[in-house]
Amino acid sequence: MRRRLENIPTDLETFFEQIIESVEPFYHEKMATTLQIALEARQLAPAAIHKFHDDEYEDEEYALKLLLQPFDSDQVASMQARIKRRLSGRCRGLLEVNK
């Protein structure tokens, strides 16, 4: 544990750089836009915002095909779990889902 602590940079810029570099390059663009959304929101954004962001990556016209209906509690729980995993992989703790 001591060796692990010694490997953590004391300089914040280096620390954040290490976090960002630990993300697979394939996810860099998604990570950047996800963090931009969080910064622009200026408050906690619902997990659904990140779901819609992911949906847009898969299909830019997804919103035109969306059924307008509320999510039921099972859908919300499933969506939150999926977004939590994706944010963890994509942002490495820089952004998290909270209840």
Query: Residues with Cβ < 8 Å from 31, sequence gap 6 or more?
Result: 20, 23, 90, 91
Look at 22 and 10; give whichever has higher pLDDT: 22
pLDDT in tens, 18-47: 888 999 999 899 999 999 998 998 888 888
Tokens of 57: 């990556």
The CA-to-CA distance between both ends of the chain, in Å, stands at 31
Tokens of 41: 């929101």
How high is the pLDDT of residue 11?
79
